Amino acid sequence: MTTTTAPRLSWEERERRRVRRDAISSWILLAPSIILILLMVGYPAVQMVWQSFTDYQVRHKIQGTAPEFVGLDNYIKIITRSDFPEVVARTVGIMVVTTVLIMVLGVLVALLMTKIGRGMRITLSVGLLLAWAIPPLTASVVWGFIFDTQYGVVNWALNTVTGTQAWHNHSWLLNPWTFFLVLTIIVVWGAIPFVAFTTFAALGQVPRETIEAAEIDGAGGWARWWNVVFPAVRPVLGGLLILQIIWNMKLFTQVYALQSRGGIAADTNVLPVYLFRQGIGEFGATSAIGMLIVLIMLAISWFNLRQLLKEEDET
């Protein structure tokens, strides 16, 4: 009886098989996550794109009929509305103001946390966590009471400081400008903790030796920040900036809650609330507005995304 032995594989063949096995194992491990993402993100996204080109309404669901393809009609109707440009400008303006304030104040709070003692840092962290843990609707209700027309603390304090009753029954939400002042306070107050904690964690990764070397070379505080610390934490700040732009473009809860307490909807609508107020069951029109929001967010975030991808390729 004769026995045959398998031919000895070359090193290149063994390496090729190992790479193939690793790739198959990776795809098997990633498959559940990819399927979940496709179901939870991909399907609704495709559905929204399709609906935005149809006259899909709630009557189609009730009657069981298929909607008609209308091309760009939904987009044209929305863009040519007289109030749409104003709503877009208002949304972008609020996004810019709140994003700048959140990023600047969040970074300043993170820098402060690196300078204060352990006890103060823990106390500050607890305060930030409490602000972050409060749901947006609850925060809007609380701040709404603070700026209440009759019983608000702000009106009482202003009357006390000025010694008059000029602020009695003063409505902060009736005027669009003061409405957005209150809205900005609520949004910035609730978003600073996330930026502060994330930046504080990034600052901890900056080598202390590099900062000390800059100090020895005579670099001042601003020079150390701009030339040493900022380049090290820039990828983190870039990611935070993109997230804040996206989140602040999608403000709904705070705006809707303040409008319910006395704000004039027509003068204070932003895109997400504008979408909600289009009417129940107008799936085609609301999907078109949703697509426009996505396109505006992508256009605004495109520069930062390119910078992040470029830095990732360079590293």
User: What is the predicted pLDDT for the residue at 91?
Assistant: 92
User: What is the predicted pLDDT for the residue at 275?
Assistant: 86
Residue 17 DSSP one-character state = H
Distance, CA of 164 to CA of 174 (rounded, Å): 21
Distance, CA of 114 to CA of 126 (rounded, Å): 15
Maximum C-alpha span of the chain: 114
Stretch 257-281: mean pLDDT, rounded? 85
- Is residue 5 scored above 90 in pLDDT? no
Stretch 151-167: mean pLDDT, rounded? 88
Q: What average pLDDT is seen over the chain?
A: 87
The per-residue pLDDT for range 52-105, each reduced to its tens digit, is: 899 888 888 788 888 888 888 989 988 888 888 899 999 999 999 999 999 999
Distance, CA of 100 to CA of 245 (rounded, Å): 9
Question: Using 50, 70 and 90 to split pLDDT, how confident is the model at 106?
Answer: very high
User: What is the predicted pLDDT for the residue at 313?
Assistant: 65
Structure tokens at 63: 């009657």
User: How many of the other CB atoms lie within 10 Å of CB of 237?
Assistant: 18
- Is residue 216 scored above 60 in pLDDT? yes
**Between 141 and 307, the higher pLDDT residue:** 141
Residue percentage of the chain with pLDDT more than 90: 29
Distance, CA of 239 to CA of 235 (rounded, Å): 6
- Is residue 6 scored above 60 in pLDDT? yes
What is the three-class DSSP state of 69?
strand
- Is residue 108 scored above 90 in pLDDT? yes
Q: 206-234 b/e with 16+ CB inside 10 Å = b?
A: beeeebeebeeeebeeeebbeebbeeebe
User: What is the predicted pLDDT for the residue at 295?
Assistant: 87
User: What is the predicted pLDDT for the residue at 220?
Assistant: 82
Question: Using 50, 70 and 90 to split pLDDT, how confident is the model at 315?
Answer: low
Amino acid at 186: I
Chain centroid to CA 115: how far? 28
- Is residue 200 scored above 80 in pLDDT? yes
User: What is the predicted pLDDT for the residue at 178?
Assistant: 92
User: What is the predicted pLDDT for the residue at 112?
Assistant: 93
